[in-house]
Amino acid sequence: FSGFTALDSIPSYFTALCDIKPGRILAHEIMSDKAAFYLSIGFKSYNMFFESLTEQYKKGNAENMEDYAGNVKMVEKLLGIDVQKDFFFFFGEEIALVKLRPDSSSRMEDLIVSIHANEISAAKEGLARIAKKIRRVSLKFEVINYKNYEIHILERKGIFKLFFGKLFEKLEKPYYTFIEDFVVFSNSEI
């Protein structure tokens, strides 16, 4: 393709990405070849991307930003966690959204979110702290084994929408596992 891109002033993920250096795209290496859709959001630094995105939404929709901040504070208080230190801190260079082709073993609404981790051991520790806190407030949390992977299951709808907005609203329940340098979330265990 050749041409140019013109940005408007509407706050968006795209506008936020324009303010930062791109990162490597890696998640396709661990994804199934049955992917019907693959969207990669790459950034050199997640913290810089998050700051840029936050600034975009403060400018364009302060009311939604206040709602988001209030919801994060509510979750932090309920679970006794720090979302930045226990969850976002391990994010590496890419967040990929993958939609698998529907077949007999998948549902139409199945979605995968793959998050590159700077240090997979730190990601495991952070998510283990969150899981421990979830168990403390009696939300259902369990672990199953599937094809030599531990699948962690959290029966808490809407947590991804809370943290990431409408882009992730289809990720109903965060099932997750670890594959190489990625934390892979899905709304299905298979």
pLDDT score at 4:
62
CB 11 within 8 A of CB 165: no
pLDDT in tens, 111-162: 888 999 999 999 999 888 887 777 766 555 678 888 888 888 765 666 666 6
DSSP state of 31: S
pLDDT score at 27:
93
List alpha helices for the chain, DSSP H: 13-18, 46-60, 62-79, 83-86, 120-136, 159-164
From the list 98, 147, 152, 158, the residue with the least C-alpha distance to 126 is 152
pLDDT score at 180:
95
State the CB neighbour count (10 A cutoff) for residue 127: 20
pLDDT score at 104:
72
